[in-house]
Structure 1
């Protein structure tokens, strides 16, 4: 198999995993990858919205939390969710040419 899409637990979407350089794939294989990626890419805004909802819920909990260690944990969780959103934005805005950078 020259490529696959692997579920990323942190981001909640499948990401392309190329086992060969993009340029060595046939036009049909590149088209198939792009077709699948566009379906996945179309779900990213909904995933971002889900994470934003989680952030708001945690912020609301944080606003009334008196336990300092729990407040720290909530802050860490909020930061991680925000990091996921940033990564999803990067994937969403990535060129349509699926890159294998960092995915070997």
Structure 2
């Protein structure tokens, strides 16, 4: 299955990486890929929660920060974490139709 997924370091999860068109896979391989994706997809809310905790920690640091350049760095880091969360939600929702194929 590792041939069908690659680790995205920014998002912190495996993402589908399919070298050929979906219909070129056997039904058995499709089912295996979908099962693996369902496992990965199920971990996305936990990953989002981890990132939200990081944001909360950085916001707490920001409220006590008096150094303007450091405040700017914290704001930038918070914005990047929020962007990652947004992308994770997109993957979670956009690929829900793929996950539904498992149950058909």
TM-score range, shorter chain: 0.7 to 0.9
**Structure 2: unaligned runs, 5 residues or longer:** 100-104
What CA RMSD, in Å, does the superposition of the two structures yield over aligned residues?
1.5
Instruction: Flag the structure with more relative contact order, 1 or 2, with Cα contacts below 8 A and sequence separation at least 6.
Output: 1
Residues 1:42 and 2:42 aligned together: yes
* TM-score normalised per structure 2: 0.86
Find the residue that maps to 1:18 and give its secondary structure.
Answer: coil
The residue number in structure 2 matching 1:102 is none
After TM superposition, give the deviation of residue 17 of structure 1 in Å: 0.2
After TM superposition, give the deviation of residue 97 of structure 1 in Å: 2.3
**Structure 1: unaligned runs, 5 residues or longer:** 99-104
After TM superposition, give the deviation of residue 14 of structure 1 in Å: 0.6
Find the residue that maps to 2:10 and give its secondary structure.
Answer: coil
Distance, in Å, in 2 between the alignment partners of 1:96 and 1:31 is: 14
- Structure with the higher fraction of residues in helix conformation: 2
Aligned length: 97
Once the two structures are superposed, what CA deviation does each residue of 1:3-43 show, in whole Å capped at 9, x if it has no partner? 42111111111111000011222211111110000011111
* TM-score normalised per structure 1: 0.86
